[in-house]
Amino acid sequence: MLNWLAMSRARFISFEGIDGCGKTTQLNLMAERLRARGVNFIATREPGSTPIGQEIRKILLDSKTTGLTSAGEVLLYYASRIQNVEQVIKPALAAGKLVLCDRFNDASWAYQGFGRQLGVEFLRILDDLVLDGFHPDHTLIIDIDVETSVKRAQRRNTAQTYDENRFETEAREFFERVREGYGWLQRREPSRFFQINGNRPVEAVHADIATLFDEWLE
């Protein structure tokens, strides 16, 4: 058994995938595992994770939000992101903590760059300006088919007491483009991305992720 406690160190790992892919469940399972092993880590998410990010999240995900342009949308995601980077992620890394993030900039490339068709050049410029090369060390993409995604996301949103449904009203083609976007990102930077088949039981997906973490934290 690997000594995880001795391996705790600054590293930034993001979890990505289309809506309903199970990344939040998987992040929580990994957080439990890390906690049990005494690893010094934090879990954060986007949009959200800071007081300003939480306010921005409400605007972005509330289905009552109308008239938001694609450029306006992506700028709000980056506004939330830079608050998270400066106030949460960088301080944690500086303190030697492992950082798990439920979505990061790749979500904007996939959802706004591909889904909304803003294009990769728009996202590249925004990334350079706002993040200045800051990016996760490793990114997990939990891949599921669009059919499953739409079903799971709808189930989740009917169970929620608050309204975060704005993206669930998108057409199927939107999620196809987002999924293609994640594929494109992985082909562009194969050393950072790891695709996991999310069309399997939670435990099987978790086992694969745990194996990857063992390698990364070695």
Q: Which residues bind ligand TMP (CB under 6 A)?
A: 19, 46-47, 61, 77, 102-103, 107-108, 111-112, 167
**93 or 107: CB nearest ligand TMP:** 107
The least CB distance from residue 102 to ligand TMP, in Å, is: 6
The least CB distance from residue 148 to ligand TMP, in Å, is: 15
The least CB distance from residue 200 to ligand TMP, in Å, is: 20
- The C-alpha torsion from 62 through 63 and 64 to 67, rounded to 10°, is 100
The least CB distance from residue 137 to ligand TMP, in Å, is: 18
Q: Which of 199, 145, 195 is nearest to 172 (CA)?
A: 145
**103 or 177: CB nearest ligand TMP:** 103
Residue 68's alpha-carbon distances to 81, 113, 120, 166, in angstroms, are 18, 16, 20, 11
**102 or 143: CB nearest ligand TMP:** 102
**46 or 127: CB nearest ligand TMP:** 46
The whole-angstrom distance between residue 200's C-alpha and the CA centroid of its chain comes to 19
3 state DSSP class of 146: helix
Rounded to whole angstroms, the Cα distance separating 86 from 50 reads: 10
